[in-house]
Chains A and B, each alone.
Chain A
Amino acid sequence: MALDHSIDISDDALLQLYANGDQAAARQLTLRLAPRAFKQAYRMLGVQADAEDVAQEAMMRVWKIAPEWRSGEAKVTTWLYRVVANLCLDRLRKVQSTSLDAIDEPIDPSPSAADDMQSNARLDALQAALIALPERQRQALVLRHIEELANPEIADVMEISVKAVESLTSRGKRALTQILKGRKAALGFEGDAP
């Protein structure tokens, strides 16, 4: 099966095709899910190699669960966000003593998207500030403001109440503001139009 119109095929259906031996489905799922898993892991861990390891482990769990996946019971992406989040927390707890020195320099974004120094400085500053937050606040902020998930889905991923999500994101944003406060000028925010 060529999956020429795979854009119309749900993740559920692709998982079923994969479980039935369809190699095109494997490629399609990889293209859809692996970059997403990597992105989430990178925002949580700040280290490229660790993020790739976590994303690879999460994808292995996708392949493993495919034959048992029950269509319609849960969203594949929500399940994957949860797996990545838990793997990241496990890894962070194992390396409690991770210092900022161990954090990679943020990955250079594609030049077309951010080709000026100010944008790079802002990206670096936000990533560093995220890494400085407590794990749960960081997780909630990444899911809410970078992955753009709705609060009920974040609650599902983090297995907490929607109120707890709201509290984590609110405290996280306040903490980020505090961390970035002294860098407004360097990040080019002073003098910006409102």
Chain B
Amino acid sequence: MSDETELNKMFDLTRRTPPEPSPDFMARILSDADAMQPASLGVLTETATKRGIFRDMFSGLGEAIGGWPAFAGLATAAVTGVWIGISPPQLLIEPFGTVLGTDSSAFSEVLEYGDGFDFTLFKG
């Protein structure tokens, strides 16, 4: 009989007689499974539920306004607004500077409201 056949006989015997783990091995595995199992879908924890609500809210908002490109547009607009507030361009400073000051007639000229317009009209 060849070495190959003898070896195959030994492998065959080994396959048919697998080693048995100790009795408490399966119990330990089941205990781990129980400890690590995520909560059942019907018994979500309060934290998980709150997290879900916020996630759903942002996800819904994103979908409503067109996804992440819309968020990018909003962010750009916000940053631009802040920038103009901090450092306004010269063209804006000159006419609106008059509004911030006391010379309201100069402002009405710039905006071409006409001679009759005066901010005093709005006073009660």
Contacts and interface: CB of A to CB of B under 8 A. Distances in A.
Given A109-B19, A180-B7, A192-B1, A30 B14 contact: no
Given A60-B36, A192-B1, A38 B14 contact: no
A36 to B, nearest CB: 9
B102 interface: no
Interface string B7-19: 1111101111111
Interface residues of A, number: 54
A55 interface: yes
Interface in B25-51: 25-26, 28-30, 32-34, 36-43
A136 interface: no
Nearest to B25: A52
A176 interface: yes
A20 B38 contact: yes
A17 to B, nearest CB: 10
Contacts, number: 125
Nearest to A192: B1
A148 interface: yes
Interface of B: 1-11, 13-22, 25-26, 28-30, 32-34, 36-43
List of 3 A-B pairs having minimum Cβ-Cβ separation, nearest first: A21-B40, A109-B17, A26-B33
25 contacts: A18-B33, A20-B38, A20-B40, A21-B41, A21-B42, A21-B43, A30-B29, A34-B21, A35-B21, A38-B21, A39-B18, A39-B19, A51-B19, A52-B22, A55-B25, A56-B32, A59-B33, A60-B32, A63-B32, A63-B33, A64-B36, A176-B7, A177-B7, A189-B9, A192-B6
Interface of A: 18-23, 26-27, 29-31, 34-35, 38-39, 42-43, 48, 51-52, 55-56, 59-60, 63-64, 66-67, 106-107, 109-110, 113-114, 119, 122-123, 125-127, 145-146, 148, 173, 176-177, 180-181, 184, 187, 189, 192-194
